[in-house]
Amino acid sequence: MKRGKRCRRGSGNFGEASGGKECFPLKHSARDHFPSRIALVAPAGIVDEVRLKRGLRNLERVFPEVEFLRGANLSRRLGYFSAGDSERLRELKWAFEESEADVVWAARGGFGCARLLERISEKLWRRWADSGKILAGFSDITALLVRFAQFGGRAIHSPMPAADLGEHPSRRMLLHLRDLLQGRRPLPISFRNPFSLQKHPRELNISRGRLSAGNLVVFASLCGTPFQPEGTGRVIFLEEVNEEPYRVDRLLTQLRCAGFFRGARAVVFGTMRGCVPESPARSFTITETLKRFARDSGCRVLKGFPFGHGRCNLALPLNERVEIVEQGPMVTVKILGV
């Protein structure tokens, strides 16, 4: 595996973001030297080098002293994978066991992570979790994040360098990401919930639990496998992209029948971008579909948290405590920490 070159040492300010969309200042403190090294890996699909370079420039503005260590599969291609299963697993072993990285960060998603799960022993997962390194990514990376977190690893459902970070990430998105990576408690996030059923809008409805987060299709694909996650006592954040409402209904039904939502404290839907029916006259909308799920599941269901395949993908730390405060249509999410 090749180590990447140390990046330019920045001025500590955000200049013109890639594409010239946004400029804003950012102060740095001593804690901002973490992470000092990030191992970039491709455990799933093919990586677009142009988008990756844009994403790394954006990360350099948040972490001006960081060194990027490039995994060998970033520049490879095998069908719809970045490389074969063995090569992708070997790259993860390099990142966790040989590199000096603080963070192992998937460059992008696609498909391929689920194929690696049965190749990674419990002993290996424990060793990786005990390394103290952070695993970051989202979308197809959900499969690795969930398993890593099951063994006590610090997993962050986060934007990725060759995906949304390679576009025009907002100031809010980048600062939230920085705070989580550096062990700070991020600012509470408020959003409007279209599913509010409270008869007395001034009353507070509070839920607390351990945080789970990920892609709906990936969670459903883990049902019936030894890697199926547990939902009891959890606040479950779900996101999806480009799935018609009836397919979303099918996935949620599968998870509900598998008991995934049994004992969950709340289910929070994020960005459901592109989840529109091909034939609107013969379909429910995605909002109607999720409302039906709220009725059928018996869970507390909310929608609108800004994460997933959308313009704003706020990072979420798996297994940390989270509090959901609902007052009328307004909801506030607070990350409480470990």
Q: What is the pLDDT of residue 271?
A: 86
Q: Which residue do the tokens 């998603």 mark?
A: 109
Task: Provide the residue type at 98 as one letter.
Answer: E
Q: Pull the structure tokens for residue 204.
A: 């507070």
The number of CA neighbours under 13 Å toward the Cβ of 241 is 13
CA distance 315 to 37: 19
pTM for the structure as a whole: 0.90
Q: Pull the structure tokens for residue 219.
A: 């969670």
Q: What is the pLDDT of residue 106?
A: 98
CA distance 163 to 183: 24
Q: CATH 3.40.390.10: does it fit domain 30-181?
A: no
Would you kindly state where each structural domain of the chain is located, as residue ranges?
30-181, 189-337
Q: What is the pLDDT of residue 82?
A: 98
* Cα dihedral value 120, 126, 128, 129, nearest 10: 130
Q: What is the pLDDT of residue 201?
A: 61
Q: What is the pLDDT of residue 338?
A: 79
Contacts 24+ apart (CB under 8 A), 246-250: 246/277, 246/283, 246/284, 246/289, 248/216, 248/272, 248/275, 248/286, 248/289, 248/290, 249/284, 249/289, 249/292, 249/293
Asked if domains 30-181 and 189-337 share a fold, the reply is: no
Query: Which has the closest alpha carbon to 62: 15, 94, 101?
Result: 15
Residues of the chain with pLDDT under 70: 1-33, 196-202
**Residues 43-88 pLDDT 10s:** 999 999 999 999 999 999 899 989 999 999 999 999 999 999 999 9
CATH of domain 189-337: 3.50.30.60
User: Do residues 122 and 15 make contact, with C-beta atoms less than 8 angstroms apart?
Assistant: no
